[in-house]
Amino acid sequence: MALATRTARTSALGTLWGSTVGKKAVMAATGVIMLLWLTAHMLGNLKIFFGPAEFNGYAAWLRTLGEPALHEAWFLWIQRAVLALCVVLHGVAAYQLSRRDLAARPQRYAHRRPRASYATRTMRWGGVILGLFVVWHLLDLTAGVVNPLGEDGHPYQNVVADFRTWYADVFYIAAMLALGLHVRHGFWSAAQTLGANNRRRDRALKATANVLAVLLTAGFVSVPVAVMTGLVD
Amino acid sequence: MNLTLRIWRQRSPEEQGAMTTYRVEGVSPDMSFLEVLDVLNEELVLRGEDPVAFDHDCREGICGSCGMVIDGQAHGPERTTACQLHMRHFRDGDTIDVEPWRAAAFPVVKDLVVDRSALDRIIGAGGYVTAPTGSAPEAHATAVPKEAADTAFEHAECIGCGACVAACPNGSAMLFTSAKVVHLNVLPQGAPERESRVLGMVAAMDEEGFGGCTNTGECATACPKGIPLPSIAAMNREYLRALRKGGARRP
Amino acid sequence: MTDTTATPAPATPAQGPAAPAQAPAAPAPAVGAYTVGDPLADTRAPAGPVHERWDTRRFTAKLVNPANRRRHTVIVVGTGLAGGSAGATLAEQGYRVVQFCYQDSPRRAHSIAAQGGINAAKNYRNDGDSVHRLFYDTVKGGDFRARESNVARLAQVSLQIIDQCVAQGVPFAREYGGLLDTRSFGGVQVSRTFYARGQTGQQLLLGAYQALSRQIDAGAVEMHPRTEMLDLVVIDGRARGIVARDLVTGRISVHLADAVVLATGGYGNVFHLSTNAKNSNATAVWRAHRRGAWFGNPCFTQIHPTCIPRSGDHQSKLTLMSESLRNDGRIWVPKAKGDTRPPAEIPEEERDYYLERIYPSFGNLVPRDIASRAAKNVCDEGRGVGPGGQGVYLDFADAIARMGREKVAEKYGNLFEMYERITAEDPYTRPMRIYPAVHYTMGGLWVDYDLMTTVPGLFAVGEANFSDHGANRLGASALMQGLADGYFVLPTTLADYLARHPHDEPDPSHPAAAAAVAETRERLARLLAVGGDRTAESFHRELGQIMWEHCGMARTEAGLREALERIPGLREEFWRRVRVPGGGAELNQQLEKANRVADHLELAELMCLDALHRTESCGGHFREESQTPDGEALRDDEHFSYVAAWEHTGGGPPVLHKEELVFEYVHPTQRSYA
């Protein structure tokens, strides 16, 4: 009559990664980390408006962060490792969940209503666009291999050289718009997934997501626009 | 009113289905949507054709039996169940598409009838308070704050119709599951099984082949009982809390 | 069991109409023929003080050793409040439960639609309530046609029900202090009704469903949804199983067990239009009746006064509006016949607030049966309103003027919304139209104190039995009875039966089982083979019209005789002209429907016969021949203080067995509400 007592349990991490809710929470947590980093990155980018010396100096300072406790550039590498892990976890979870989601609705409705899947589709395609952008962006401004100038230690000059080409502007701005959309749904979604949302906060969270998305996009896009308009050269 | 209905017809789970067109004439605006199907079925029977199979029972919006996607919306254009949807919300000459709930976890049985037993199994995986008959303490032994009681009631209103699953682009049962988790987890009576409940129900939900939540909110828009979307956030919170506490689902 | 030799019925009391005589040699039995068999006694009810009887019975009941319980299989048919709670409790105790429901999930049983609340003698209000008062109110409310022993038990057990439901997490309404809220309900002076907004039935049912789900998950209950019981298997005089049809595949199978519990609800759908769910039906109880379970008081039907009137011939069911609306709404019709002016244009002096006029002290708050009958009377006079003149106004204009619109919205907002959704009329600006509708059947399978029918091993619980409400059920008592039976009474009394019948493996190839299967198959094949030109629905509609007209709110000998003449003809026509498309080996909702209508066509006749033979008026049964000078129901305790238990004879006229009712504690009085 009485039910048996609990059996040996699997590890909490295993359960987390094994369930849709847990996997989504991993996406939310990694998304929040990346969002925080992006905010810092965007603010740092704005230093470009103070001229080459200040911008290049800022870039150099990033390499010395954590000294003397850390060796030169260690902080940068730790940060890169964390971000890489976030990207991988975020991407793998998104891929696995998307496959599952598509399998859960094998037959579509004959009467389609596009609105229903708008957010889902923009997140999926936006995520793919952002992934491709990150690859180009690293090759361009971190490794310098696809940058028109590609001079180590001269990020200001590299950026300006970059945004003088039309394709870099187009790709960059398109990616930043995708980022805005991604953050707009992703921030609120992360709050929902991590259980931080409730009825009282719902509107505030949605407003915050909108503001954050606009500020991030505007901040990032201001750089190529400034280069194109000659404000920065 | 005269209407054209395009209805999904499928004889059995194995056979292919298709949208089939029917004319229904002399529809009164006071009829419910299901009464239009009744009229159509009477005509089909007398014409020697197979009538349209659909689930229905109480016809007052509380049993959760009826459910069909009408013009791409679960239960149709009004926020209610198909049995309480009246034809005055349509216009003479309309063409209306009628389809079954679509989800991997809800296989079609026949025409508009789907198998929703997966929802029962989610409840069986933890959607209860273990209180064998006779073991209950006096009802007033534990006072329940009114706010908790009201929150519990609001979530307990779920009728298990499956509209949330049908409306979700991912065929997810998160809103259904969260409604029960929140109902029981906010009450002191539900506290001892708070962790095992949410872990067990989420695991059952995943095992049944429902999709995950992408926070589109379609479920809450379709819900005829107005289960709120933040209910899902509350379940997520319970789930992560249960993992932190080292809880385990029931075997 | 019966003395069927007592041929022409001597049942009619002195002042009644001519005895329904029958010529035994006639080829077709005369209309209204029946015979009177041996009187019936409830042999299980213990003696002693009424409030100690249940404790006595619990002590005398034999127990089943926990280790042996797993060997006993119990079939439970139905998953409403009674069936769900019974299945869960029996499984918790260790019995093997095999349970059935025709719906796709046990959570959808029609108990879910109950609105108002559940009574319990908790006396949390300190307003003078007690177990004895609940007992007293229920016996009196049933117009002295219920058993005192049963009602006393019901009142006693009501206390535990609330405890049990709260422990399950049922979200009853609470006050700011966190304690349970109660409200008053029809015709009682204490506040003993516990509720969960207007969805008490839903919340109680989900509590039972969740307890049942736990047992299904644990493997203790084998659940068969979408499976309908079509016959009872009786082996060696004991109920040993059922024949059931899988509604998806059409497979017909036999399920055997040590005992069978029917929790299949009432038979209000005999009237076609009722507040019952569309698929609620009488097949399980009627098949059991044909296999030997006697039927108690089949004519006792409750007609609820406040339902939304039908809007046309397409109407598939009727929707109840909570009777709480009568607290503030005023009921009226125009004074003139055929007055078709909109209500706002009818001046005050041309309105007839007939309840306030006829019953000045109770006004709009008279009991359900009286309010229903009064509405019928004014409509019969041609003063009804709305389409077809089948409606009366329930007007909130005065309430809105007195309390303000906001206060009215706070109290009745969701009911007003529901009304507006269905009728597209705004009840804040235009009076509601209401009309009575069939709501509940007090009659059902006759059961003894142990809830066992006249077939040993066959139990009936909830609305399916006849037991506790007499001739009229009080509001918020149906939920109480269903849960009392399922959670507390049946598990005790069924154990006693099982303990007295040691387990022996039933033989699935027993001729009785095979015969029941063969008969079921043959019957369904016959339905499919008719190939006529009328739908089952059309027969159901026609039967409903006959029943509503002649066996509804007011019944006369002539009307009942007419019904008894027309029903066999309709039945004959049904089997000649019904058209059931498709086959038996598939999901075939028309076949399900036709099979249920076939049983309704038989049960309807017994209802009319019971109504004809009971020449008194009592509770929901109003015979126009038996009324006071004021037009109120006039009981005839001298001749009719009994339960009418009908025995099926298979072709011949049914046999009436009378169970005398004894009132030791609540002495019968004539009700007066003027």
- What ipTM was assigned to the predicted interfaces of this complex? 0.98
How close does chain A come to B46, measured CA to CA in Å?
A: 29
CATH of the domain at A28: 1.20.1300.10
Same domain, C542 and C656: yes
> pLDDT tens digits for C24-83?
444 455 788 999 999 999 889 999 999 999 999 999 999 999 999 999 999 999 999 999
Instruction: Assign A180 to helix, strand or coil.
Output: helix
The CATH number of residue C544's host domain is 1.20.58.100
Backbone angles phi, psi at B24, to 5 degrees: -125, 125
Q: How many structural domains is chain C composed of?
A: 3
Distance from CA of A40 to the nearest CA of B (A): 27
Integer CA distances (angstroms), A140 to A136, A137, A149, B8, B111, in order: 6, 5, 10, 53, 56
Q: What is the pLDDT of residues C553-586, one digit of tens each?
A: 999 999 999 999 999 999 999 999 999 999 999 9
CA dist C611 and C620 (Å) reads 11
Q: Is residue A32 part of a domain?
A: yes
| B134/B227 same-domain check | yes
| Residue C209 sits in the same domain as residue C346 | no
Global pTM reads 0.94
- Specify the CATH number for the domain of residue B68: 3.10.20.30
Asked whether residue C396 falls in the same domain as residue C308, the answer is: yes
**Higher pLDDT, residue A34 or A7:** A34
Contact of B224 with B80, CB cutoff 8 Å: yes
Question: Is C203's CB within 8 Å of B132's CB?
Answer: no
Q: Which pLDDT does position A118 carry in this prediction? A: 75
Encode pLDDT of A128-177 as tens digits: 999 999 999 999 999 999 999 988 889 999 999 999 999 999 999 999 99
Residues in chain B within 8 Å Cβ distance of C196:
153, 156
Compute the distance between CA of residue A184 and CA of residue C451 in angstroms, rounded to an integer. 63
How many domains does chain A divide into? 1
Least confident of C88-102, C141-155, C659-673: C659-673
Q: Examine residue A2 and state whether it is found in any structural domain, yes or no.
A: no
> C496 and C348 share a domain?
no
CA distance B211 to chain A (A): 4
| Range of the structural domain that residue A33 is part of | 20-102+118-229
Domain membership flag for residue B249? no
- Does residue C11 surpass a pLDDT of 70? no
Domain stops at, among B110, B143, B175: B110
b (16+ CB within 10 A) / e for C264-294: bbbbbbbbbbbbbbbbbbbbbbbbbbbbbbb
Neighbour-count burial of B117, counting CB atoms closer than 10 A to its CB (0-12 exposed, 13-18 middle, 19+ buried): middle
Task: Give the bridge partners for C658, in sequence order.
Answer: C644
Mean pLDDT of A172-193: 95
Sequence-ordered list of residues with C-beta below 8 angstroms from that of A74, at least 6 positions apart, any chain: A66
Contacting C residues, span 37-66, partner chain A, CB-CB under 8 Å:
66
Q: Do B52 and B128 reside in the same domain of the chain?
A: no
- B103 and B146 both lie in a single domain: no
pLDDT at residue number C369: 82
**Does one domain contain both B89 and B37?**
yes
Cβ-Cβ contacts under 8 Å, C94 against chain A: 1
- Is residue C220 in a domain? yes
Measured distance CA(C486)–CA(C484) in Å, rounded: 6
Name C260's Cβ contacts closer than 8 Å, sequence gap at least 6: C74, C75, C77, C232, C239, C240, C241, C242, C457, C458, C459
Task: Say if strands B3-9 and B95-99 run parallel, antiparallel, or are unpaired.
Answer: parallel
Report if residue A9 sits inside a domain. no
Q: Assess whether pLDDT exceeds 90 at residue C277.
A: yes
Average pLDDT of chain B is 96
Which of C387, C416, C438 delimits the end of a domain? C438
In a domain, B89, yes or no: yes
State how far the Cα of A143 lies from the Cα of A91, in Å rounded to an integer. Answer: 22
Domain, as residue range, for C477: 58-113+198-303+440-500
CATH number (domain holding residue C359): 3.90.700.10
Average pLDDT over residues C226-246: 97
Q: Are C420 and C426 in contact (CB under 8 A)?
A: yes
DSSP state of C660: E
Are C293 and C406 contained in the same domain? Answer: no
Q: Are residues B211 and B136 in the same domain?
A: yes
Query: Could you give the CA distance from residue A144 to residue A146 in angstroms, rounded to a whole number?
Result: 6
Q: Decide if B243 touches C, using CB distance below 8 A.
A: no
**C48 in a domain, yes or no?**
no
Residue A10: pLDDT above 80? no
pLDDT digits (tens, 9 = 90+) for C482-523: 999 999 999 999 999 999 998 888 888 999 999 999 999 999
How much is the average pLDDT of C633-656?
95
Residue B185 belongs to domain spanning? 116-244
Q: Which of C652, C572, C657, C646 is nearest to C608 (CA)?
A: C646
Work out whether the CA dihedral C564, C568, C570, C574 comes out positive or negative: positive
Number of domains in chain B: 2
Asked, for residue C52, whether it belongs to a domain, the answer is no
pLDDT band at C3 (very low <50, low <70, confident <90, very high): very low
Question: Which pair of structure tokens corresponds to residue C285?
Answer: 């109880």
In a domain, C180, yes or no: no
How confident is the model at residue B251, as a pLDDT?
63
CATH classification of the domain holding C229: 3.50.50.60
Nearest CA in chain A to B227: A199
| Closest residue in A to C94 (Cα–Cα) | A1
Q: Does C311 touch chain A (CB under 8 A)?
A: no
Handedness of CA C382, C384, C386, C388 (dihedral sign): negative
What is the average pLDDT across B130-140?
A: 97
